[in-house]
Chains A and B, each alone.
Chain A
Amino acid sequence: MGEFLMPRLGADMSVGKVVEWLKRPGERIKRGDIIAVIETDKANVDVESFVDGVLEKILVEPSDERLPVGTPLALIRTEAGAASAAPTPAPAPAAPPPASAAAAATPSPAPAARAPAPAVAAPAPMAPPAAVPKATAAPPTIPSSAVAAGPAPPPTAPAALRPAAAGERVRISPAARKRAQELRLDPAALTGTGPQGRVTLADVERAAQGAKAEARPAHVDTAVARQLRMREAIAASMARSKREIPHYYLASTIDFGRSLAWLAERNAGRAVTERLIYAVLLIKASALALREVPELNGFWIDNRAQQSEAIHAGIAISLRGGGLVAPALRDADKQSLDELMRGFQDLVKRARAGSLKSSEVTDPTVTITSLGERGVDAVFGIITPPQLALVGFGTPLERPWVVEGKVMPRPLLTATLSGDHRATDGHRGALFLAAVDRLLQQPEAL
C-alpha cells in the first residue's frame, strides 16, 4: 500500500489544499491519470499518479484546510505493493533530476532530488515522474506574448509516489527533524536559516505557525487572498534565488530579420489555426542551443550542478490578474515548430484556466521568458532555483544595424542569459547566446 502525499509543486511550496478528487475509492488508477486537484499558492494543479493501482482510501476530503507538503492524502494499492516481496527502495539518492525520458523508464525511487518532497510514500519501486504521460510531447504549443514574464516562476518538484523516507539530504538539526516529524512537516519544504541553510528548530516552529496561519476559512479565500499567496510564493522563490545563486548576466543583440521574414512567408499560406508566433522560434533555438551548452540545463543540487539530458523548457506565462507560472514544454529541442506551437497554446490556455498538470509544473530544466510584447528591450531575469539558467528575450525592434559595411534598418532582438556562476562561467554563457543567434539565422532548420 502506498500513501499519496501532498506533493510539492514548487521549490518553495510548503502547504497545499485538496480541491477535488477525480478518482473514487475502489477505482483503478493508471500511471499518468489525474487523480486530484491541488491548490498551491500559485494555481490549481492537476496531480497525476506515477503508479498503476487502485485508489484504496481517501484520507483527506476536499476542504479549505491548507496541509503541509508530505501529508498523507490517500492510500493507493499498487501492484508492487500487493506483492510486497518487492524490496523497499532505499531513501531517494541524490538522483539526477527527473528530466530524461531514459531516466523515466527506470523503476527506481522517484527522483525527488530537486526538492525531496514526497508526493506518495510507497513501499515498492515506483515509476519516476518523467514517465508520466507525454501529454506535452504530443500536442505542444507556445505563444510569444504569453511568454511574458519577468522573474522565473518557482520550480516544482516531482509530484510522485515516493518511498517513505522524506527529507533525507536536508541539512537539519536532530531536534528540528524530530519536531518536524511531530508536526508532520516535510523538512525538505522548510527554509533553513542556520549555517549553510541548515534547518533549525526555530525554522520548524516558524513553519508550523505559518501553516496554521494559512489555514484560512473559505470565506476569506478571496481572489485577493490568492493573489497575496501567489506574490508570497514568488517572493519566496525569487528571494531564495537572489540569496543563494550568484548570478551573472549576459546580453547579445541578434538580427531577427531572417527569422521574421521566414515566419511571415510561412504563415502567409496557412490557415489561422496553423500559424506560428515568433516566440516558438525563440524557444526552439534556445532548446537547441542548450544541447550545445548543456551545462546550463539542469539543477544545482547538493552543492553541485546536475545536468539534465532532457531539455524541458519552462515557459514563463503571465496570468491574468497578476503573477506567473512557468510550466514545461517537455523535450523542447526534439519537437517540431508546429508541435511546439500547439503545446504552447495548450499550456497558455490551461495555465490561465488553472489546470496545469503536476508533471508540467515540476519538470522545467530551464526557464525561458520574453517581455517582447510590451516593448521591453531586454530581460535580465532571476533564475528559478534550483535551475541553472534563465533565458530572456526583449522586443524585436527595427533599428540601424551595419550589414556588410552599410547601415540599414533591421529588426533587432536582445537575447539575455542569467547564469548560475557556481555551475558555469560567462564564457559558456556567451557560447550559448552565440548559438541562439546562429540558429535564428537559419529558421528553416529549426
Chain B
Amino acid sequence: MSNDEIRARVIKTLSGIVPELDPSSLKPAVSLRDQLDVDSMDFLNFLIALHQEFGVDVPESDAGKLGTIDACVDYLEQALRQRTQA
C-alpha cells in the first residue's frame, strides 16, 4: 500500500471520528488533539477505527506515536511493511 493511499485512508478514517473535518485544512504535522479538539475517547475510537481499516492493533505503549497525520502514516506504513515481511 502506497504512502498516499495510507494517508487517504487515515484521513477518511479520521473523518468518521470528526465529522466536521475539512481535509483541505488539515495540517499533517500538527497534533490532532490541538487542531481538531480530539479528546481521549475520540482518540481511542480513532485507534479502533484504524485497527478496523488496516488490521493494525496499535499497542497502548505506541499510542502516543500517532499524534499527527504524518506520524500515523509513518507508523502504519512501517507496521504494514513488517506484516508483509513476516
A and B physically associate: yes
Binding site for B on A (CB under 8 A): 143-146, 148, 264, 267-268, 270-273, 275, 277-279, 318, 320-321, 344-345, 348-349, 373
* A residues less than 8 Å from B37 (CB atoms): 320
- The answer to whether A144 and B51 touch (CB under 8 A), given A271-B57, A272-B57, A272-B58, is no
Q: Which of B20, B42, B60 has the most CB of A within 10 A?
A: B60
Q: How many residues of B contact A (CB 8 A)?
A: 20
Sorted nearest first, the 5 A-B pairs with minimum C-beta distance are A143-B41, A145-B39, A145-B40, A146-B41, A267-B60
Q: Is B39 within 8 A of A264, CB to CB?
A: no
Q: Is A273 within 8 A of B48, CB to CB?
A: yes
State how many angstroms separate the Cβ of B36 from the closest Cβ of chain A: 10
Q: Of all chain B residues, which has the CB nearest A348? A: B41
CA distance A264 to B64 in the complex (A): 13
Q: Can you list 30 A-B contacts (CB < 8 A)?
A: A143-B39, A143-B40, A143-B44, A144-B39, A144-B40, A144-B41, A145-B39, A145-B42, A145-B43, A146-B39, A146-B40, A146-B41, A146-B42, A148-B39, A264-B60, A268-B59, A271-B51, A272-B47, A272-B57, A272-B58, A273-B51, A275-B44, A277-B40, A278-B40, A279-B40, A320-B18, A320-B37, A344-B41, A345-B44, A348-B41
* A residues less than 8 Å from B42 (CB atoms): 143, 145-146
Chain B 49-78, CB within 8 Å of chain A: the 1/0 string?
001000001111100000000000000000
CA distance A374 to B45 in the complex (A): 18
CA distance A270 to B59 in the complex (A): 8
Q: Is A270 within 8 A of B39, CB to CB?
A: no
State how many angstroms separate the Cβ of A210 from the closest Cβ of chain B: 31
* B residues less than 8 Å from A349 (CB atoms): 45
CA distance A321 to B44 in the complex (A): 20
Q: Of all chain A residues, which has the CB nearest B18? A: A320
CA distance A321 to B40 in the complex (A): 18
CA distance A386 to B12 in the complex (A): 42
CA distance A264 to B60 in the complex (A): 8
* B residues less than 8 Å from A348 (CB atoms): 41
Per the 8 Å Cβ criterion, residues 1-49 of B in contact with A are 18-20, 37-45, 47-48
State how many angstroms separate the Cβ of B34 from the closest Cβ of chain A: 10
CA distance A273 to B47 in the complex (A): 8
* B residues less than 8 Å from A267 (CB atoms): 60
State how many angstroms separate the Cβ of A191 from the closest Cβ of chain B: 33
* B residues less than 8 Å from A344 (CB atoms): 41
- The answer to whether A277 and B57 touch (CB under 8 A), given A320-B19, A320-B20, is no
* B residues less than 8 Å from A268 (CB atoms): 59-61
Q: Which of A144, A278, A279, A373 has the most CB of B within 10 A?
A: A373
Q: Which of B38, B48, B51 has the most CB of A within 10 A?
A: B48
CA distance A320 to B41 in the complex (A): 13
CA distance A272 to B45 in the complex (A): 9
- The answer to whether A275 and B60 touch (CB under 8 A), given A143-B44, A345-B45, is yes
